[in-house]
Amino acid sequence: MSRQQATPETRSVRLLKVGEQVRHVISELLMRQQVHDDVLTAHAVSVTEVRMSPDLRHAAVFVKPLLGADEDEVLKALRTHTAYFQKEVAARLKTKYAAKIRFLPDESFDEASRIDALLADPRVRRDLDEGA
C-alpha cells in the first residue's frame, strides 16, 4: 500500500505549531545576526516554511535569500552551522529531543513565477478567454 503525501491539510496542528515555532527561532537568530558567519551577515535570508516529521525529530527548513542572490553560498553557510541552529532551537523550545535540521532551498517562488509566465502567454490567455 502506498503512503500518501502529507499536505498542510492532513498534517496535525501540533506539527504545524512546532514547525512555526522552529521557523521563528531560526528567523530570529538570522535577523539578529547571532550566527557569526560573513556570508549570513551579508545576506538577508527568509525562512519561508518548516516541516516537522511526525516524531518531531527532523525538521526540513525551507529558506530563500533576498532576491534569490547567492543561494548556494547561503545554503552552504547555513548547513555549516546546522549544529548551532539545532542547539539553539532545542534550548529555546525546551523540546525533549533536538530536531535534526536540514536546510533546503525554497522553490515555491520560482514555481509561482513559472506559472505566472505560462498564464501570461498569449496562447494560454486566448484559451482562457474562450472558456469564459
- Residue 60 is predicted with a pLDDT of 95
Beta pairing partners, 102: 60
Closest C-alpha to 54, from 97, 23, 88, 86: 97
- Residue 1 is predicted with a pLDDT of 39
Evaluate whether 97 touches 54 at the Cβ level (below 8 Å).
Answer: no
> Is 13-106 a CATH 3.30.300.20 domain?
yes
Domain extents in the chain: 13-106
Per-residue pLDDT tens digits of the chain, which is 132 residues long: 344 555 555 568 889 999 999 999 999 999 998 888 888 888 899 999 999 999 899 999 999 888 767 888 999 999 999 999 999 999 999 887 889 999 999 877 666 677 777 777 777 777 777 766
Closest C-alpha to 53, from 86, 18, 87, 88: 18
